[in-house]
Structure 1
């Protein structure tokens, strides 16, 4: 058989293994190993597994992921996330749908210290959903705001999506983190506008909250100041060049741990649970990176990315027509695959194609992450929808999926704006790195 035929069989096998519920990391390892065995022999396949596994876990830049995950887990266990929510509600709660808007803003703020979509949705869902239910918010609006707001954890730095993209494409994590800031704020603003529109069209869906005095508002800001300070220090330090992303992650995690114990906001048992959660998440991320590194040489030998790129160019669609085809394929895949799985499986194939059309690799990273975000809330496999369903309890999945649809439209608007105006994503990394 030709390398192309073996490559197509490998891709089909990969999807079959995932459908059979094999973890995506091990599915990639199996396909990469046996594919290389079929193409270049057992000795070569074994060498790829050993060398690529070591190079993956020995990557210094990958330390960013577990450090920021630890930061987010300790913040959640210490209750700092609730302070973010209270501060957001104090300032926007008096507007229509104010509680849902506050949830979105709090999701964005927590995403800036967490880096995980699921963790953001779970943490803020536990805080915000009971309050929205108590005040009579429509289940679709309340759960939709949390599910959509949680996706910001995949875009706003420190994003695990950007870390994996950087590892897979050998791009700068710092540039990618900076590229996610303005799009993240844009998407947050669009989500807040969606909440306001829904609450305006149906006032009963999102009633106004009680207005607060300036003193009360400043008091909530004071309670959320520790976490906000860590967020500004870590992300701002990267921007001004004081820290590398790895240094910022370590400093941020250390500061949050010190603050948690200094304010007696966390017990030793709570801290140990946060560490255990971090170890589980980090093990999953490292295993996925190893799987992707084993799979990539197999794709390179089969020349599937090169052939697909030549095929797209042969269609005469042009750069943006080809981009539209790839985005459409991502949206379809997002209906059936988890976001991280989709990222690590597709980027080795899609990235060379996009680079052959002359697109900026940092800009495409932002586009890819936003499209993958969309997959997190699209049926039938919207990871964040199922997470929020677990927190919300008795709210049907159909209601949550219906509630996220307006937010999905906002994501499409954000995506179009970033495609039309690439500087939305590139202004910060270009100003920082020149």
Structure 2
């Protein structure tokens, strides 16, 4: 049996184990270990299993993960997400669909200091959803706006998805963060336009709320100072070359704690729970990375990426068709797997193929993260929709109907990013 066939069978078996709901980290570790044993022998597999995971998670760069996770946990607990919503409500609430538009921009602001989509769903389902229900908003529109907008947490920096992609591919995390800023802003604009069109043709779906005076709008901006300070501190330091990503994460986490304490939004009773949740989330990510390190070694030993690259190069089809197939694969996988697991599963196999086709790795990282983000709300198994349904009690069918217009907006947004790579590459190219 050829090495490439062993690698392909290993990938297929891994998908079977994941479909059987085996824990992602364990499934990748098992396939990696026994795959190496078949190719290089049991002794080599034992040596690799003893050394590779330890060396992998011992990298200094991985210290950035708990820092940004802690930063996100602190700002979530401090109620900063609610303040973002109240500010955006003052500015957009009087428009048709204004409360849903306010939710979109609040999620964008919140994403800029959390880096996770679930945090946005939890906060907005408790803050924005009751407000939209109070003004008789269509339930599907309300749920769709929350589910779709919350996914921006994985695209807008500091994105945990970009951190993991950067570590696994050894690409500058700072440049990846910069690459996500313009696409993130454009995504929020696309969602805003989508909501406006929906409510333009059917005003009953998003009745206008109370109108605020200009003074009230300006005064409400004080609620966003924490977001602006943290974002400028972290992203500005990275952009100017003052901080490394790890240092930026530490400064961001420390800054979030100081802001929460000074503004009296974080009690000492809550802090141990925040640290515990941070530890749990970090441990989950690191265990996944230990599993993927073994799987990555197995894939490398099997020479599967090299064989795939040669196979694709020999096909009489344009590389755009191949790239479209990869994009479709991410949508399908992202429907069934969490974003982080999808990243770790596919990067060892697909990334070398992307490089062999001559695509820019930073641009590809943005597209990949964007597709995984889109998959999180795609029926029939959009994970973020299940999370929102569990928290809010809204029927899953209603949520799926509500996200359809936003998925159409996602397709248009992704098409724009693919057609104009400079939208992702401009800011990284200007970094110091």
Counterparts of residues 264-413 of structure 1 (less than 5 Å)? 264-393=264-393, 395-413=394-412
Give the superposition deviation at 1:55: 2.2
Per the TM alignment, residue 374 of structure 1 is displaced from its structure 2 partner at its CA by 1.2
Greater Cα offset, 157-166 or 48-57: 48-57
For residues 4 and 290 of structure 1, the distance between their equivalents in structure 2, rounded to whole angstroms, comes to: 23
- Aligned residue number for residue 137 of structure 1: 137
CA distance in 2, matches of 1:373, 1:352: 22
Partner Cα separation in structure 1 for residue 176 and residue 51 of structure 2: 26
Partner of 2:423: 424
C-alpha RMSD over aligned residues: 1.3
Q: Distance in 2 between matches of 1:321 and 1:237?
A: 39
Would the aligned equivalents of 2:17 and 2:27 in 1 still touch at CA under 8 Å?
Answer: yes
Deviations 1:336-371 (A, max 9, x none): 332222211111111111111111000000011111
- Equivalent pair of 1:85/1:106 in contact (CA under 8 Å): yes
Q: Distance in 1 between matches of 2:155 and 2:19?
A: 27
The question of whether the paired residues in 1 share the 8 Å contact of 2:125 and 2:391 is answered with yes
SS at match of 2:381: coil
Distance apart, 1:141 and its partner CA: 0.6
C-alpha displacement at 1:207, in angstroms? 1.1
1:186 alignment counterpart? 186
Q: Secondary structure at the match of 2:430?
A: helix
**Does the 8 Å CA contact 1:339/1:373 hold for their aligned counterparts?**
yes
SS in structure 2 opposite 1:306?
helix
Q: Distance in 1 between matches of 2:351 and 2:401?
A: 33
User: How far apart are the structure 2 equivalents of 1:284 and 1:387?
Assistant: 18
Q: Is the 8 A contact 2:80 2:110 kept in 1?
A: no
Equivalences for 1:77-226 in 2 at 5 Å?
77-226=77-226
Offset at residue 333 of structure 1 (A):
2.3
- Tell me, in whole angstroms, the C-alpha distance in 2 between the residues paired with 1:367 and 1:374: 10
Instruction: Report SS of the residue matched to 1:269.
Output: coil
CA distance in 2, matches of 1:197, 1:183: 21
Corresponding residue for 1:46? Answer: 46
> Which segment is superposed worse, 48-57 or 295-304?
48-57
Give the 4+ runs in structure 1 shifted more than 4 A.
none
Write the distance in 2 (CA, Å) between the matches of 1:252 and 1:335. Answer: 31
Provide the secondary structure at the position in 2 that maps to 1:379: coil
1:76: which partner in 2? 76
Q: Which runs of 5+ in 1 are unaligned?
A: none
Counterpart Cα distance in 2 of 1:199 and 1:64: 42
- Select between 55-64 and 80-89 the one with higher mean Cα deviation: 55-64
Deviates more, 1:221-230 or 1:352-361: 221-230
Please tell me whether residue 20 in structure 1 is matched to residue 20 in structure 2: yes
TM-score, normalised by the number of residues in structure 1: 0.97
Residue 58 of structure 1 deviates from its aligned partner by 1.4
Conserved 8 A contact 1:367-1:415: yes
SS of the equivalent of 1:180 reads helix
Deviation at 1:334, TM superposition (A): 2.6
Distance 1:400 1:195 in 2: 15
- Alpha-carbon offset, residue 43 of structure 1: 1.9
Which runs of 5 or more residues in structure 2 are unaligned? none
Kept after mapping to 1: 8 A contact 2:34/2:45 = yes
Report SS of the residue matched to 2:207: coil
Paired residues of 1:338 and 1:381 also in contact (CA < 8 A): no
Q: Does 1:66 align with 2:66?
A: yes
8 Å Cα contact 1:95/1:208 also seen in 2: yes
How far apart are the structure 2 equivalents of 1:259 and 1:332? 40
Q: Bigger CA drift: 127-136 or 57-66?
A: 57-66
Q: Confirm or deny: 8 A CA contact 1:327 1:371 kept in the other structure.
A: yes
- Cα distance in 1 for partners of 2:329, 2:129 equals 33
Contact 1:121 1:388 in 2 (8 A): yes
Question: Is the 2:87–2:224 Cα contact (8 Å) retained in structure 1?
Answer: yes
The range that moved more, 24-33 or 42-51, is 42-51
What whole-Å deviation, never above 9, does each CA across 1:148-183 have from its counterpart, x for those lacking one?
111101101111111111111111101111101111
TM-superposed CA distance for 1:8, in Å, is: 2.3
- Are the counterparts in 2 of residues 71 and 114 from structure 1 also a CA contact under 8 Å? yes
- The corresponding residue for 1:253 is 253
